[in-house]
Chains A and B, each alone.
Chain A
Amino acid sequence: MTATISPLSEVTRSDAALRTFLHGLPGVDRVGADARAAGLGTRSIKTTAKAWAIDLAIRMVDLTTLEGADTPGKVRALCAKARQPDPGDPTCPPVAAICVYPSMVPTAAAALRGSGIHLASVATAFPSGQAPLKVKLDDTRAAVAAGADEIDMVISRGAFLAGRYLEVFEEIVAIKEACGSAHLKVILETGELVTYDNVRRASWLAMLAGGDFIKTSTGKVAPAATLPVTLIMLEAVRDFLDTTGRKVGVKPAGGIRTTKDAIKYLVMVNEIAGDGWLDPDWFRFGASTLLNDLLMQRTKLATGHYSGPDYFTLD
Chain B
Amino acid sequence: MSRFEYAPAPESRSIVKLQPSYGLFINGEFVDGAGSFKTISPASEEVLAEVAEASTADVDRAVKAARRAYEDVWGSMPGRERAKYLFRIARIIAERSRELAVLESLNNGKPIKESRDVDVPLAAAHFFYYAGWADKLPYAGFGADPRPLGVAGQVIPWNFPLLMLAWKIAPALAAGNTVVLKPAETTPLTALLFAEICQQAELPPGVVNIVTGAGETGAAVVNHPDVDKVAFTGSTEVGRIIARAVAGTNKKITLELGGKAANIVFDDAAIDQAVEGIVNGIFFNQGHVCCAGSRLLVQESVADQLLESLKRRMATLRVGDPLDKNTDVGAINSAEQLTRIKALAEIGSAEGAERWSPACELPDRGFWFAPTIFTGVSQAHRIAREEIFGPVLSVLTFRTPGEAVEKANNTPYGLSAGIWSEKGSRILAIADQLRAGVVWANTFNKFDPTSPFGGYKESGYGREGGRHGLEAYLAG
CB within 8 Å of B: which residues of A? 26-29, 31-33, 35-36, 42-50, 52-53, 235, 266-267, 270-271, 274-275, 278
B442 engages A32 (CB within 8 Å) = yes
Task: Return chain B residues, CB-CB under 8 Å to A32.
Answer: 270, 272-273, 276-277, 442-443
| CB within 8 Å for A28 and B325 given contacts A42-B117, A52-B4 | no
A50 engages B276 (CB within 8 Å) = no
B443 engages A27 (CB within 8 Å) = no
Shortest CB distance A268–B (Å): 11
Extra contacts besides A36-B276, A278-B3 (4): CB < 8 Å: A28-B270, A43-B325, A44-B325, A274-B2
Q: List 29 A-B contacts (CB under 8 A).
A: A26-B272, A27-B269, A29-B270, A29-B273, A29-B442, A31-B443, A32-B270, A32-B272, A32-B276, A33-B272, A35-B276, A36-B273, A42-B113, A42-B117, A43-B6, A43-B326, A44-B325, A45-B6, A46-B8, A48-B5, A48-B7, A49-B4, A49-B5, A235-B272, A267-B4, A270-B4, A275-B4, A278-B2, A278-B4
- B135-172: contact bitstring with A at CB < 8 Å (1 yes, 0 no)? 00000000000000000000000000000000000000
| CB within 8 Å for A270 and B2 given contacts A27-B268, A50-B7 | yes
Which of B6, B268, B422 is in CB contact (< 8 Å) with A49? B6
| CB within 8 Å for A275 and B2 given contacts A42-B113, A42-B117 | yes
Which 10 A-B residue pairs are closest in the complex by CB-CB distance?
A32-B273, A44-B9, A44-B325, A29-B270, A29-B273, A49-B7, A26-B271, A27-B422, A275-B2, A270-B4
Smallest Cβ-Cβ distance to B444: which chain A residue: A32
Which of A27, A47, A49 is in CB contact (< 8 Å) with B270? A27
| CB within 8 Å for A45 and B3 given contacts A28-B270, A32-B276, A32-B277 | no
Task: Return chain A residues, CB-CB under 8 Å to B6.
Answer: 43-45, 49
Task: Return chain B residues, CB-CB under 8 Å to A46.
Answer: 7-9
B316 interface residue per 8 A CB criterion: yes
* Residues from 370 to 428 in B contacting A, C-beta threshold 8 Å: 422
Task: Return chain A residues, CB-CB under 8 Å to B443.
Answer: 31-32
A26 engages B269 (CB within 8 Å) = yes
Provide the bound-state CA to CA distance between A27 and B7, in Å: 35
Task: Return chain A residues, CB-CB under 8 Å to B272.
Answer: 26, 28, 32-33, 36, 235
Smallest Cβ-Cβ distance to A49: which chain B residue: B7
Shortest CB distance B171–A (Å): 28
B4 engages A53 (CB within 8 Å) = yes
Smallest Cβ-Cβ distance to B423: which chain A residue: A27
Smallest Cβ-Cβ distance to B273: which chain A residue: A32
Task: Return chain A residues, CB-CB under 8 Å to B4.
Answer: 49, 52-53, 266-267, 270, 275, 278
Shortest CB distance B447–A (Å): 14
Smallest Cβ-Cβ distance to A33: which chain B residue: B273
Task: Return chain B residues, CB-CB under 8 Å to A267.
Answer: 4
Provide the bound-state CA to CA distance between A267 and B277, in Å: 20
Task: Return chain B residues, CB-CB under 8 Å to A47.
Answer: 7
A271 engages B316 (CB within 8 Å) = yes
Task: Return chain A residues, CB-CB under 8 Å to B269.
Answer: 26-27
Shortest CB distance B277–A (Å): 7
Q: Tell me which of A29, A53, A266 has the highest count of chain B C-beta atoms within 10 A of its own C-beta.
A: A29
Provide the bound-state CA to CA distance between A270 and B271, in Å: 20
- B262-294: contact bitstring with A at CB < 8 Å (1 yes, 0 no)? 000000111111001100000000000000000
* Residues from 275 to 323 in B contacting A, C-beta threshold 8 Å: 276-277, 316
Task: Return chain B residues, CB-CB under 8 Å to A274.
Answer: 2
Q: Tell me which of B6, B277, B316 has the highest count of chain A C-beta atoms within 10 A of its own C-beta.
A: B6
Smallest Cβ-Cβ distance to A51: which chain B residue: B7
Shortest CB distance A278–B (Å): 6
Provide the bound-state CA to CA distance between A28 and B274, in Å: 10
Task: Return chain A residues, CB-CB under 8 Å to B271.
Answer: 26
Q: Tell me which of B3, B269, B443 has the highest count of chain A C-beta atoms within 10 A of its own C-beta.
A: B3
Q: Tell me which of B7, B113, B117, B268 has the highest count of chain A C-beta atoms within 10 A of its own C-beta.
A: B7
Smallest Cβ-Cβ distance to B2: which chain A residue: A275
Smallest Cβ-Cβ distance to B116: which chain A residue: A42
Provide the bound-state CA to CA distance between A28 and B443, in Å: 13
Smallest Cβ-Cβ distance to B3: which chain A residue: A275
Task: Return chain A residues, CB-CB under 8 Å to B5.
Answer: 48-49, 52
Task: Return chain A residues, CB-CB under 8 Å to B8.
Answer: 46
Smallest Cβ-Cβ distance to A28: which chain B residue: B270
Which of B3, B316, B422 is in CB contact (< 8 Å) with A29? B422
Provide the bound-state CA to CA distance between A39 and B4, in Å: 18
Shortest CB distance B116–A (Å): 9
Shortest CB distance A282–B (Å): 13
A45 engages B2 (CB within 8 Å) = no
Task: Return chain A residues, CB-CB under 8 Å to B117.
Answer: 42
Smallest Cβ-Cβ distance to A32: which chain B residue: B273
Which of B2, B268, B325, B442 is in CB contact (< 8 Å) with A31? B442
Provide the bound-state CA to CA distance between A32 and B270, in Å: 9
Task: Return chain B residues, CB-CB under 8 Å to A266.
Answer: 4
Smallest Cβ-Cβ distance to B9: which chain A residue: A44
Task: Return chain A residues, CB-CB under 8 Å to B277.
Answer: 32
Shortest CB distance B115–A (Å): 13
Task: Return chain A residues, CB-CB under 8 Å to B325.
Answer: 42-44
- B314-350: contact bitstring with A at CB < 8 Å (1 yes, 0 no)? 0010000000011000000000000000000000000
Task: Return chain B residues, CB-CB under 8 Å to A27.
Answer: 268-270, 422
Smallest Cβ-Cβ distance to B272: which chain A residue: A235
Task: Return chain B residues, CB-CB under 8 Å to A45.
Answer: 6-7, 9
Smallest Cβ-Cβ distance to A275: which chain B residue: B2
- B241-277: contact bitstring with A at CB < 8 Å (1 yes, 0 no)? 0000000000000000000000000001111110011
Shortest CB distance A304–B (Å): 17
Task: Return chain A residues, CB-CB under 8 Å to B276.
Answer: 32, 35-36
Smallest Cβ-Cβ distance to A231: which chain B residue: B272
- B98-121: contact bitstring with A at CB < 8 Å (1 yes, 0 no)? 000000000000000100010000
